[in-house]
C-alpha cells in the first residue's frame, strides 16, 4: 500500500460549494486522496471558487499567486480550480495560469478521477461542459460525516435571470434531483448520525421532480428515523407555494427559519433587476408565512447601489426592512458582472453606494441584535454540534440558527436539548439545559 495522497480544499461562496467540496473530496478518495486541513505538505490544492461578486472572483488569482513558490519547490504538487469561476473562466485560467493542472466546473466533478489520472501523466485537464449524464449518478456514496448537521443539494441551477446575477450562467438551468435518490441520501446521512438537514438549491423552492414539490420532499424526510430538523435555502419569493407555507405551520421538523431574499424595497429597482415581484408581493408572502409560523425568523439578501438606484429607492429598501424586522440579513454593494444585463448600465457613484451600504448594515445589525437579545429567558432547542472551549460546555444552534453555548457536562454531540437562554453575548447566546 502506498501512502494516501493529501488533498487540501479551500472553499469560497455559498453552501452549494461547501456541499460540492465534500463530494469532490469523496470522489478523489477513489484516486487515493484523503483530505487534510494543512496546506503545507498537500499533494493537491483545490480552490473551489465563487463568481458572484468581483471581489469573490479576485480571490482565486491572489490564491494562485501565493501558491507559485510551493509549486516551484515541488513540481509534483497538483493545483486544481473548481466552482463557478472555473465554469465561467476556465479556458482563461488555463491560459493565464500555467501552474494550474486541472479546471473543473460544478456540473463535471464526477469526472475528477479520470482527470486526476490524466494530470498524473503530466497533462492538463479541463471540464466545463454541462454533461448529459447526471454527476450524482457517478459519485461515490456519502461516507464520513462531519457532524450532526449536513447539507443536501436537491436542486441546482437557476432559470430566473435576475439582471445582476451570474448564477444562471455558471450553474446552468434548473434541475431537480429525483426524490427517491434524495430520500436514500437522507436516510444514509441519518444512519451516520446526521440529525439536521439543510436542503440546498439556488432556487430550492422551485424543486419539482417525480411528482414531488419541496413541501412533499420535506414532509417525507421529516418521517425518516433520526432526522429531527429540516430547513432549506435559497428561495425565491415567487416560488413560495401554498403547500410550502402550510408546511411551516404543520411540519414540526421544519425549522422556524426562512431565508427569503428580496434584494430591494423599491418596485422600480425590483423591475430593473428582473425580480418579477413587487415589494408588496413579497410582504404578502411574509405575512402568510408568519401566520403559519408566528415565531419564524426571517432573513434576506440586499443589494445596494444597483444601477439607477436613487435616494428614494434606497429609502424604500430601508422602509421595507423596518416593516419586516429581520432576524439576520446579508447586504452587498452591487458588483457589475461580465455578461449580465445590468453590467451594461451606468453604476451608482461608489461613495454613495458605500454610504448606503453602511446605513443599511447598521439598521440590519440593530435588528439582528434585537432578535438575539429577545431570546433571553426563552426556551429553545439546541442541536449540539461540538464541545465548547470551556470544560463542561457544548456548542450548537437553536431552531432559529442562533449559536448557543450551553453549560452541560453530560452533553453529547448530536443531542437535541431544551435549553433556557440566560444571556445574549456579542455573537452567541448562553444557556442551561431545562432540568
Q: Which residues bind to ligand F3S, rule: CB under 6 A?
A: 13-14, 16-17, 50-52, 83-84, 166-167, 170-171, 202
| Residues 358, 396: Cα–Cα separation, whole Å | 30
From the CB of residue 228, how many other CB atoms can be counted at a distance below 10 Å?
Answer: 19
Nearer to ligand SF4, 128 or 263 (CB): 263
- How many H helices and E strands in the chain? 12, 21
Phi-psi region of 140 (alpha: psi -120 to 50; beta: other; left: phi over 0): beta
User: Shortest distance, CB of residue 103 to ligand SF4, whole angstroms?
Assistant: 22
- Choose among ligand SF4, ligand SAH, ligand F3S, none what residue 381 binds, the Cβ cut-off being 5 to 8 Å by kind: none
CA-to-CA dists, residue 185 to 118, 188, 192, 296, 364, angstroms: 30, 5, 11, 28, 36
Residues 6+ apart with CB under 8 A from 25: 7, 9, 33, 35
User: In this complex, which beta carbon is closest to ligand F3S, that of residue 264 or of residue 340?
Assistant: 340
Q: Which is nearer to ligand SAH, 53 or 192 (CB)?
A: 53
**Smallest separation (angstroms) from ligand SF4 to the CB of 169:** 9
DSSP per-residue letters across 38-67? -STT-SEEEEEE--SSHHHHHHHHHHHHHH
342 binds ligand SF4 (CB under 6 A): no
Shortest Å, Cβ 155 to ligand SF4: 11
The binder of ligand SF4 chosen from 9, 60, 112, 165 (CB under 6 A): 165
The reply to whether 88 sits near ligand SF4 by the rule CB under 6 A is no
Task: Map the footprint of ligand SF4 across residues 189-218, applying CB under 6 A.
Answer: 202-203
**Nearer Cβ to ligand F3S (174/316):** 174
Three cell numbers, residue 358: 453602511
Which one, of 403, 396, 399, lies nearest residue 423 by Cα? 403
* Residue 230-259 contact track with ligand SF4, rule CB under 6 A, x = bound: ------x-----------------------
Which residues, 178 to 207, sit near ligand SAH by CB under 6 A?
Answer: 202-203
**What is the smallest separation between the CB atom of 320 and ligand SF4, expressed in angstroms?**
17
Q: Residue 262, exposed/middle/buried by CB under 10 A (0-12, 13-18, 19+)?
A: buried
Give Cβ neighbours of residue 377 (< 8 Å, ≥ 6 apart): 420, 421
Q: What is the 8-class DSSP label of residue 100?
A: -
Distance CA 152, CA 194 (A): 11
Cα separation, 128 vs 43, whole angstroms = 23
CA distance 102 to 90: 9
Contact stretch for ligand SF4 (CB under 6 A) within 55-63, 158-166, 183-191, 421-429: 158-166
- Tell me: does residue 236 bind ligand SAH (CB under 6 A): yes
Look at residue 88 and give the partner it binds from ligand SF4, ligand F3S, ligand SAH, none, a contact being a CB closer than 5 to 8 Å depending on partner kind. Answer: none
Answer yes or no: are the C-beta atoms of 407 and 388 closer than 8 Å.
no
Only segment of 23-31, 165-173, 410-418, 422-430 that touches ligand SF4 (CB under 6 A): 165-173
Q: Rounded to an integer, what distance in angstroms lies between the CA atom of residue 346 and that of residue 350?
A: 11
Q: In angstroms, give the least distance from the CB of 334 to ligand SAH.
A: 5
Q: Is 71 in the site for ligand SAH (CB under 6 A)?
A: no
Is residue 141 left, alpha or beta, with left meaning phi > 0 and alpha meaning psi from -120 to 50?
A: beta
313 to 267, 278, 409: CA distances (angstroms): 8, 13, 52
Which is nearer to ligand SAH, 241 or 301 (by Cβ)?
301
Pairwise CA distance, residues 381 & 418, whole Å: 5
List the x/- string, 157-176, binding to ligand SAH by CB under 6 A: -------xx-x---------
Work out which of 332, 345, 378, 407 binds ligand SAH, going by CB under 6 A: 332
332 interacts with, out of ligand F3S, ligand SAH, ligand SF4, none, CB within 5 to 8 A per kind = ligand SAH
Q: Considering the rule CB under 6 A, would residue 301 count as an interface residue with ligand SAH?
A: yes
168 binds, among ligand F3S, ligand SAH, ligand SF4, none (CB under 5 to 8 A by kind): ligand SF4
User: Of 53 and 290, which CB lies nearer to ligand SF4 in the complex structure?
Assistant: 53
User: Is the CB of residue 150 less than 8 Å from the CB of residue 188?
Assistant: no
Q: Which residues bind ligand SF4 (CB under 6 A)?
A: 158, 160-162, 165, 167-168, 202-203, 236
Under the rule (CB under 6 A), what is the footprint of ligand SAH?
52-53, 164-165, 167, 202-203, 234, 236, 261, 263, 301, 303, 332, 334-335, 337
Amino acid at each position: 500500500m502506498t501512502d494516501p495522497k493529501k488533498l487540501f480544499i479551500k472553499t469560497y461562496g455559498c453552501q452549494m460549494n461547501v456541499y460540492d467540496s465534500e463530494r469532490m473530496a469523496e470522489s478523489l478518495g477513489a484516486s487515493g486522496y484523503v483530505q487534510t486541513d494543512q496546506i503545507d505538505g498537500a499533494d493537491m490544492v483545490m480552490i473551489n471558487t465563487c463568481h458572484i461578486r468581483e471581489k469573490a472572483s479576485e480571490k482565486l488569482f491572489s490564491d494562485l499567486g501565493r501558491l507559485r513558490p510551493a509549486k516551484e519547490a515541488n513540481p509534483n504538487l497538483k493545483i486544481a480550480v473548481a466552482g463557478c469561476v472555473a465554469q465561467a473562466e476556465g479556458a482563461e485560467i488555463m491560459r493565464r495560469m500555467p501552474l494550474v493542472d486541472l479546471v473543473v466546473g460544478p456540473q463535471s466533478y464526477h469526472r475528477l478521477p479520470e482527470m486526476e489520472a490524466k494530470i498524473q501523466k503530466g497533462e492538463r485537464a479541463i471540464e466545463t461542459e454541462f454533461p448529459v449524464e447526471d454527476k450524482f449518478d457517478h459519485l461515490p456514496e456519502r461516507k464520513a460525516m462531519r457532524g450532526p448537521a449536513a447539507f443536501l443539494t436537491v436542486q441546482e441551477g437557476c432559470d430566473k435571470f435576475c439582471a445582476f446575477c451570474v448564477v444562471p450562467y455558471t450553474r446552468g438551468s434548473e434541475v431537480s434531483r429525483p426524490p427517491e435518490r434524495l430520500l436514500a441520501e437522507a436516510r444514509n446521512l441519518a444512519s451516520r448520525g446526521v440529525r439536521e438537514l439543510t436542503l440546498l438549491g439556488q432556487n430550492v423552492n422551485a424543486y419539482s421532480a417525480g411528482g414531488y414539490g419541496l413541501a412533499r420532499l420535506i414532509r417525507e424526510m421529516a418521517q425518516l428515523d433520526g432526522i429531527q430538523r429540516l430547513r432549506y435555502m435559497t428561495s425565491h419569493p415567487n416560488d413560495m407555494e401554498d403547500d410550502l407555507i402550510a408546511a411551516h405551520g404543520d411540519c414540526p421538523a421544519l425549522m422556524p427559519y426562512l431565508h427569503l431574499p428580496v434584494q430591494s424595497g423599491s418596485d422600480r429597482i425590483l423591475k430593473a433587476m428582473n425580480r418579477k415581484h413587487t415589494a408588496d408581493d413579497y410582504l404578502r408572502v411574509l405575512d402568510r408565512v408568519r401566520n403559519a409560523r408566528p415565531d419564524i425568523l426571517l432573513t434576506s439578501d440586499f443589494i445596494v447601489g444597483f444601477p439607477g438606484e436613487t435616494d428614494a429607492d434606497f429609502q424604500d429598501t430601508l422602509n421595507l426592512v423596518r416593516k419586516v424586522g429581520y432576524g439576520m440579513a446579508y447586504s452587498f454593494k452591487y458588483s457589475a458582472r461580465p455578461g449580465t444585463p445590468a453590467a451594461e448600465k451606468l453604476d451608482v457613484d461608489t461613495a454613495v453606494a458605500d454610504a448606503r451600504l453602511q446605513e443599511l448594515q447598521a439598521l440590519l445589525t440593530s435588528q439582528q441584535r434585537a432578535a438575539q437579545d429577545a431570546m433571553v429567558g426563552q426556551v429553545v432547542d439546541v442541536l449540539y454540534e461540538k464541545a465548547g472551549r470551556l470544560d463542561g460546555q457544548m456548542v450548537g444552534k437553536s431552531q432559529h440558527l442562533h449559536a448557543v453555548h450551553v453549560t452541560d457536562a453530560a452533553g453529547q454531540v448530536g443531542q437535541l436539548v431544551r435549553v433556557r437562554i440566560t444571556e445574549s453575548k456579542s455573537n452567541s447566546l448562553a444557556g442551561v439545559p431545562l432540568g
